[in-house]
Amino acid sequence: MKKIIRESTLKYTISFIGIIAMIFSTFALHAEEEKIGKEEGGFNAGEMIFEHVLDSHEWHIMTIGDHHVSIPLPVIIYDKEEGGLHIFSSSHLAHGHVYKGYKIALDGDYEGKIVKAAGGTNEEIIDLSITKTVFAIMFSAVLMLWMFISIANSYKKRKDKAPKGLQSFLEPLILFVRDDVAKPAIGSREYMRFMPYLLTIFFFIVINNLLGIIPIFPGGSNVNGNIGVTFVMAALTFIITSSVGTKDYWMHIINMPGVPWWLKFPIPLMPIVELVGVFTKPIVLMIRLFANILAGHIVILGFMAMIFIFANLFGAVAGYGVSVVSVAFSVFLSLLEILVAFIQAYVFTLLSALYFGMAMEKHH
């Protein structure tokens, strides 16, 4: 009987992997010690990147020298123990100050969140603050309301005339969602019921993605890269799919016709597989959008961080040299991000429409 792997090859492979692991672990050891050095004044790339993609209670615009220019956002907390609602500006909590018994925890389990200064936990606080992501969502909601109410009015005023201005910019997109996404997926009789939801989702995702690429206020907030936001959108799709599901749809999940009985009766294998499928579809929708947008932001920020890393390691001249390459790559990646913004919105809307269509299918 031939041996598949020679014994010596196996031994060498295992020892090779073991040695590589130990080499990497010594780097991890050094990293622990160097982290302290970085906090003292070096440049910490990981910290900068996560600062830009995570949520925060103030909107940081720029840092001139040692002076931070940022917009403090309102903090709204409801204290479950004392039963009081506190609303104040987050400038009171800047730099770790304690205000009315609350502070922003600088490290530990609750890093970045508002905790009670005495206890150090945030279990008793319901945090309803307007954070960076919430403010960006409100801003794009106001932008969308303005855009669509104004074109609705101009359609009413200019009935039967050619579209003009903002109408002619948005009309191809709206007709694209109707003719190429909703009608083929849902069918030409029922699609009108779902058009408001599909149009809202499509434009919400596109506008937030495009605003996320603009680096300065009011853009530059990572809305769709926040799993909470994409979770809500996927949950809405799931709720609508389940509520328009016909009897045939649920029959196909619980009691699929044409499948032998022993896959359903003592242990309901097929129903479990189908039920898992019902839940995985919205979860995959959520993760696809979240990971695409977050990865795009992290890569662009990483290229920008390279400039500062090189400047710290090899001096300012290396920083300038690398900045040419870095900026070129970042511009290219930003153009790619614009394409990804549209593609991700299209895929989310198309898949939602497909799920609605499949749920409403009548038995032939």
Taking the complex as a whole, the smallest distance from the CB of residue 358 to another protein amounts, in Å, to: 15
Rounded CA-CA distance 52/225 in Å is: 11
**Residue of 10, 11, 12, 24 that binds another protein (CB under 8 A):** 24
Q: Which two tokens stand for residue 177?
A: 């969602």
Rounded CA-CA distance 56/51 in Å is: 8
Q: Which is nearer to another protein, 28 or 216 (CB)?
A: 28
Q: Which of 313, 295, 296 is nearest to 43 (CA)?
A: 313
Per CB under 8 A, which of residues 131..190 are in contact with another protein? 180
How many residues contact another protein, by CB under 8 A? 23
Taking the complex as a whole, the smallest distance from the CB of residue 47 to another protein amounts, in Å, to: 12
Interface with another protein includes 336 (CB under 8 A)?
no
Element (H, E) at 72: strand 67-72
**Residue of 10, 14, 19, 20 that binds another protein (CB under 8 A):** 20
Q: Residues 103, 93: contact at Cβ < 8 Å?
A: yes
Cα(first)–Cα(last) distance of the chain, in Å?
57
DSSP annotation of 105? -
Interface with another protein includes 344 (CB under 8 A)?
yes
Contact window for another protein (CB under 8 A) among 186-194, 289-297, 305-313, 330-338 = 289-297
**Residue of 1, 4, 5, 22 that binds another protein (CB under 8 A):** 22
**Residue of 29, 61, 336, 338 that binds another protein (CB under 8 A):** 29
| 104: CB partners within 8 A, 6+ apart | 57, 93, 96, 112, 113, 114, 115
Taking the complex as a whole, the smallest distance from the CB of residue 343 to another protein amounts, in Å, to: 6
Interface with another protein includes 263 (CB under 8 A)?
no
Interface with another protein includes 27 (CB under 8 A)?
yes
Q: By three-state DSSP, how is residue 362 classified? A: coil
Q: Which of 248, 207, 233 is nearest to 362 (CA)?
A: 248
**Residue of 9, 13, 25, 153 that binds another protein (CB under 8 A):** 25
Interface with another protein includes 28 (CB under 8 A)?
yes
Per CB under 8 A, which of residues 267..286 are in contact with another protein? 284
Q: By three-state DSSP, how is residue 68 classified? A: strand
Q: By three-state DSSP, how is residue 19 classified? A: helix
Interface with another protein includes 295 (CB under 8 A)?
yes
DSSP annotation of 263? G
Binding residues (CB under 8 A) for another protein: these are 20-29, 180, 284, 287-288, 290-292, 295, 343-344, 346-347, 350
